[in-house]
Amino acid sequence: MAESFATGGVGDAQLRYRDDEPCAQPAVTVEAFKGQTNATAVRLESGEDARELLAMLDRLTLVVVHFPAFTDGRGYSAARILREAGYAGELRAAGDVLVDQIRYMRRCGFDSFAPDAPLDAAAVERALGFYDHVYQPTVDGQTPVWTLRHGGDHG
């Protein structure tokens, strides 16, 4: 369940699915992050390589992945790559983030959202509630149908 739908107070995220304290630092660019050893939050543009961050995961508490247009799907791969590498901090989708994209974003590992235009809370809840099952395993820990069918409970 979402922690809060309030804007402000949760470090710019309108929607946050984490219990820990939001990172208070501003997110800096990847270039700046490489040079600033005390920075803990970074902003990844859609054309940037998420793998550049892998060597620095231990000092990251927030990665903001920017979606310049909701049709630009590079951020979904970036998110999975970070989660697959074990990143456990906050992963935020920012920019052109719409109700009907939230579920797939959650499946790729995003756990907070900072949409350009505030989302309708009820619509998000509804959009997240339609599906009981998934075919393919991702990083969200949901047991895929392929596993359920064969008696397992985890993929």
- Give the single-character DSSP code of 54: G
* Residue 47, helix vs strand vs coil: coil
Among 73, 88, 121, 125, binds another protein (CB under 8 A): 73
Footprint on residues 90-129 left by another protein (CB under 8 A): 98, 100-101, 103-105, 107-108, 120, 123, 126-127
Residue 141 sits in the site that holds another protein (CB under 8 A) = no
CB nearer to another protein: pick between 89 and 109: 109
The DSSP annotation for 56-116 comes to GGGG-SEEEEEESSTT-THHHHHHHHHHHTT--SEEEEEES--GGGHHHHHHTT--EEEES
Distances, alpha carbon 56 to alpha carbons 24, 31, 51, 66, in Å: 19, 12, 10, 19
**Apex 35 CA angle, 51 and 15, nearest 5:** 60
* Residue 22, helix vs strand vs coil: coil
CB of 84 to another protein, least distance (A): 6
Residue 7 sits in the site that holds another protein (CB under 8 A) = no
CB of 76 to another protein, least distance (A): 5
CB nearer to another protein: pick between 17 and 36: 17
- Name the residues that contact another protein, by CB under 8 A: 49, 70-74, 76-77, 80, 84, 98, 100-101, 103-105, 107-108, 120, 123, 126-127, 130-138, 144-150, 152, 155
